[in-house]
Structure 1
Amino acid sequence: MHKSFSHGGRILSLAKQMDVSFESILDFSASINPLGVSPLVKKAVAAAMKLAGHYPEAGSPSLCQALAQYHSIPVETIAVANGSTELIHLIPRLFRRAAGRALIIAPAFSEYTNSLHLAGWEYSYLNLSHTDGFTLNTAALAEELAKGYDICFFCNPGNPTGHLYTPEEIETVYWLSKSSGCFFVLDEAFIDFKEDFSAKALIPASDSGMILRSMTKFFGFPGIRVGYAIASSEVTSRIKRFLPPWNVGVIQQAAAIAALSDLKHCRETIEFVEKERRSLTDAFAKMSGLTVFECSANYLLVRLDNGMTADRLQNELLKELILIRNCSNFEGLDNRFFRVAVKGKAENKKLLQAIAGALKNSSIPFS
């Protein structure tokens, strides 16, 4: 039985439910660039409005070219989509069969499971353990893959764990998948914070895998849906045959191209997030009743060790209009785990004070 497919970032619906303005809610449930969108993106979006009366470029060739230049990879290895989730739901269709079998290395983004469930595929999990920091046991993976799978899903850095796997570890997973006849799907939605760890030079070298990339998190515009795949030209050609011709609109394409051009904003984002993440990690580490996990992206996974549940903590924080991500619906995690985005210093301070207050006021004694 699968867990629910709920997500973070539900601030608009929550504001309506609570009858408050969405601006009044501090949303730590969605891991979005705390610096916001680049100023160049705002200008590009405004300028693109004059194109709203026309169809966008089918297949987003200008954006593909911009991505190829940004990553220094061949343009034919890129396929652009309306967010990486569009690609996730397309993947089972690439195999031209009624059903197949997939392995998900968990904890993981629930849309992998959702896409497989809707497509009628079977799926199993290889759960990584929080007790050893979500390290990957390649021997256990090889043993599991030997049971026979069509697809293997893996995320680097892990979501929601934040664990960063080395290029050598990713290469091992890739070759284990390939040697077992399994198509390897590597989700690099948060790799922008550690771009040197990307497998974009490895995966496109054969037709045995693909990389998923998102422009939601690092570039800070989840409301403007843009994602893309990096794979061999054969694989991207297959992907493009399944995508609608105008799946990415003129405003989306303009925003993405502008974001890629602002390298200064990219550098400032990395520096800002690293500094604030370290500060937030240190503050959590000093709190009694919590365990914080090392992360390489713009969020932190935290475990409650004092008997309080993530449900209860989430509800307590909502009273102060602070929203966190309850991670109990992630396969391999339970109701002790929650995730928070890394935001600015003042916002992070407010979060820490609210969590400290909730823990202090809990009637459950600390362990």
Structure 2
Amino acid sequence: MKAYLILEDGSVFTGESIGAQKEVISEFVFNTSMTGYLEVLTDPSYAGQSVVMTYPLIGNYGVCLEDQESSKPHVEGFIVNELARLGSNFRKNIDLEDYLIENGIPGIQGIDTRHITKIIRNQGCMNGMITTTYYEDLQEVLTKIRAFTVTGVVEQTTCKEIYTLGEGSKHIALYDFGAKTNIAKSLVKRGCKVTVVPASTKASVIKELNVDGIMLSNGPGDPAECVEIIEEIKALRKMKTPIFAICLGHQLMALAHDFKTEKMKYGHHGANHPVKDLVSGRVYISTQNHNYVINPESIDSTIAKPWFVNVNDKTIEGMEYTQENIKTVQFHPEACAGPLDTDALFEEFMKMMEVQ
């Protein structure tokens, strides 16, 4: 069956329908990863967005369910140049096509994903529609597409109740703003007991848990929308407990210090982004998935200083709060399917808890 991608600038691409046959409007971003498509599909940070994969063949090793970063996919739609109909992997549970159908994710194959990527790079992130309906008159459709906004997605992706994973000498409270599974796994692997809490959890609840450290997770959407969460992070700061934050957590911590965030033109989405440690001078390759960054002009240098920067565009990729035991990174040290260059940052968090 034919399927159509309609972008808000009026561009229309025709391909073949894959996955669920339904119509969806969302924000469109591109991802430059060569592998890890299941981790992309199940990353809650993509809530409200459809993903265009730049690598030409997707699905060649099928779906290995234990590699999911959450219990279900969170992308709205999936665009590929070519879908591998038969995945080859001894760990495979299901083919990608069947996985998309089972989880109600519509997609398109057979269109030039790199052309779409160039449009997004030139014009910025934009809304679009995936549909199997041919529209002769696009005006009404484009009005609906342009009216779409990504909102309320943290509430949609966070856990609903507190739960605990692992046993160990260090007790960590992990705020779930749309957390990837491997964050908790990375802490448990290091001998931590991890109590995962919903995004709306009050600081007073964390104080009662008497934890050794606090981790703020990744998540979707505009950080400035999370007004109540930001207020609770301000209260968490007063507890003097070591805090490490990733992605959305990194942005929320900046806002809790009255710094500013801003939307990027097309964001960072992929597993090949170089970041430089400003302390050591060393460059790491990182996985990233974000549309917002900290405005460097808004940073009070008496409170915090940049820790990492992006080698390509010089945006801030990490912060050290000089008067508090707090460190944050914009990228994903827990990255699955990789790279694992920055996995050692979890050891940095362990050291922070030793010196509190």
The structure showing larger relative contact order (alpha-carbon pairs under 8 Å, at least 6 residues apart) is 1
Report the TM range for the smaller structure's normalisation.
under 0.3
Of Structure 1 and Structure 2, the greater strand share is in 2
State the TM-score, normalizing by the size of structure 2.
0.27
State the TM-score, normalizing by the size of structure 1.
0.26
